[in-house]
């Protein structure tokens, strides 16, 4: 198959031919019809993730068709239109049995723990646990754009923060995760404040439902959120993952507010100091969000249908697989507006 191979951290992503994957006994192989380019892929590419082994094929946000299954797979998956979480669970450990397969004690992440979806085919382990069947109304491009970003934002806001209609949500960072959070919060009936540095991203956030947009290079977002919300947001989301935005998220909450950390904090941004004294004084809640189990996808699909979320507007560029290198490099500058998709075979 054709795939994008990287030999070492920051190595040139090279289109090449590699052997087709063979499904493990419990797994499946998916023909990739579309795959997203995520900031997490950039972290893996530059060497921030110690689980990556070189040479490596990146990619973890994909949708396609099942073309092969292992001997132990029970479900009728051959030919099915599917996607899968970026954190695949074994279904057998204590955490998985509790329903949290995305937090599996033996988790496997395509594009990190093994070769990923910047290729014509991608293997998915423990297929019966991790494959999610797509509704006919959802195209491959839109399904790939759900990737880790949309489903992570959905789980973070709906499950972890228990977002309620009428609340104010402040989203820091309008990349893929942030724009998804804006769209989800607006569709759920919240009032959304979006924070970024790029006018084009803020314009798209407003189009997706943000009532207020703030350019953090021009004004203090903490003070501006307090003014716009009458004392602070009910929920804040750090969708960027930095020392500054994680702290600003906590500082922007009203008493008893909830902060959701969705952006990865890696490299120089790891282990940020947080204003925990304020957490104590105002009885704030700080939670993390790390993907979503496959069993929750039908609920996400129903939300999309009811909320009329404009998924197509979240998609930015569509590029051939061979252009994975420039697409990854653009992530270093947080340049893309919307989700960049790579399209193997198109």
pLDDT at 335 over 80: no
- Comparing CA positions, the residue from 129, 121, 154, 134 lying closest to residue 35 is 121
Tell me the pairing of strands 28-37 and 61-69: antiparallel
Residue 57: the pLDDT is: 97
What mean pLDDT comes out for the span 217-245? 96
Residue 346: the pLDDT is: 67
- pLDDT mean across residues, the chain: 95
In contact, 105 and 92? CB cutoff 8 Å: no
What mean pLDDT comes out for the span 18-33? 97
Claim to verify: residue 102 and residue 168 sit in the same structural domain: no
What mean pLDDT comes out for the span 262-286? 90
- Whichever domain contains 307, its CATH number is 3.90.180.10
Claim to verify: residue 131 and residue 13 sit in the same structural domain: yes
Claim to verify: residue 155 and residue 136 sit in the same structural domain: no
The number of folded domains in the chain is 2
pLDDT at 60 over 70: yes
How much helix, strand and coil, in percent to the nearest 5, is found in the chain? 35, 25, 40
Taking only the tens place, the pLDDT of each residue in 105-118 is: 999 999 999 999 99
- Domain boundary among the residues 288, 303, 320 is at 288
Torsion of CA 143, 146, 147, 150, to 10 degrees: -170
pLDDT at 258 over 80: yes
Claim to verify: residue 110 and residue 194 sit in the same structural domain: no
Claim to verify: residue 158 and residue 252 sit in the same structural domain: yes
CA distances from 335 to 23, 28, 39, 150 (A): 36, 34, 11, 19
Claim to verify: residue 249 and residue 132 sit in the same structural domain: no
Claim to verify: residue 131 and residue 188 sit in the same structural domain: no
Q: What phi and psi, each to the nearest 5 degrees, are found at residue 161?
A: -95, -10
pLDDT at 287 over 70: yes
Claim to verify: residue 115 and residue 159 sit in the same structural domain: no
In contact, 311 and 179? CB cutoff 8 Å: no
Q: Residue 30 corresponds to which tokens in the numbers above?
A: 């998916």
Residue 269: the pLDDT is: 84
The dihedral through the CA atoms of 108, 77, 91, 260 has a sign that is: positive
- Domain boundary among the residues 245, 267, 288 is at 288
- Whichever domain contains 194, its CATH number is 3.40.50.720
- Domain boundary among the residues 253, 270, 288 is at 288
Among 245-254, 290-299, 329-338, which stretch is predicted with the lowest mean pLDDT? 329-338
Report H helices in the chain: 39-46, 94-97, 127-130, 140-146, 149-154, 176-187, 199-207, 221-229, 243-251, 276-281, 297-307, 311-314, 324-332
Claim to verify: residue 101 and residue 206 sit in the same structural domain: no
What mean pLDDT comes out for the span 262-288? 91
Among 52-66, 173-187, 238-252, 255-269, which stretch is predicted with the lowest mean pLDDT? 255-269
| pLDDT > 90 fraction of the chain, expressed in percent and rounded | 86
Burial state string for 227-238 with b = 16 or more CB within 10 A and e = fewer than 16: ebbeebbbbbbb
Residue 208: the pLDDT is: 95
Taking only the tens place, the pLDDT of each residue in 175-216 is: 889 999 999 999 999 999 999 999 999 999 999 999 999 999
Domain range for 189:
150-288
Residue 5: the pLDDT is: 97
308 contact partners, CB below 8 Å, separation of at least 6: 187
């Amino acid at each position: 198959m054709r795939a994008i191979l990287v030999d070492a951290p920051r190595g040139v992503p090279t289109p090449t031919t590699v052997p087709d994957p063979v499904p493990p006994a419990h797994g499946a192989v998916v023909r990739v019809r579309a795959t997203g380019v995520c900031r997490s892929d950039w972290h893996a590419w530059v060497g921030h993730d110690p689980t990556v082994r070189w040479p490596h094929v990146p990619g973890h946000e994909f949708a396609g068709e099942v073309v092969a299954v292992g001997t132990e797979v029970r479900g009728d998956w051959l030919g099915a239109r599917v996607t899968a979480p970026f954190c695949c669970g074994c279904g057998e450990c204590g955490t998985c049995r509790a329903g949290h397969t995305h937090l599996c004690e033996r988790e496997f992440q395509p594009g990190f723990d093994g070769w990923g979806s910047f290729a014509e085919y991608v293997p998915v382990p423990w297929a019966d646990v991790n494959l999610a069947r797509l509704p006919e109304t959802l195209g491959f491009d839109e399904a790939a754009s759900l990737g880790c970003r949309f489903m992570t934002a959905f789980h973070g806001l709906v499950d972890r923060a228990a977002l309620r209609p009428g609340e104010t949500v402040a989203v820091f960072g309008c990349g893929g995760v942030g724009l998804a959070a804006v769209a989800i919060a607006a569709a759920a009936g919240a009032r959304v404040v979006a924070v970024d540095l790029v006018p084009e991203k803020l314009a798209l956030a407003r189009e997706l439902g943000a009532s207020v947009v703030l350019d953090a290079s021009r004004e203090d977002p903490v003070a501006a959120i307090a003014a716009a919300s009458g004392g602070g947001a009910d929920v804040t989301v750090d969708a960027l993952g930095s020392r500054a935005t994680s702290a600003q998220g906590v500082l922007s909450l009203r008493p008893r507010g909830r902060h959701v950390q969705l952006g990865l904090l890696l490299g120089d941004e790891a282990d940020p100091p947080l204003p925990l004294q304020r957490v104590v004084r105002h009885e704030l809640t700080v939670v993390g969000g790390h993907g979503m189990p496959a069993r929750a996808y039908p609920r996400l699909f129903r939300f999309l249908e009811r909320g009329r979320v404009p998924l197509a507007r979240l998609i930015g560029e569509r590029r051939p697989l061979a252009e994975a290198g420039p697409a990854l490099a653009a992530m270093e500058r947080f340049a893309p507006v919307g989700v960049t998709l790579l399209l193997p075979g198109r």
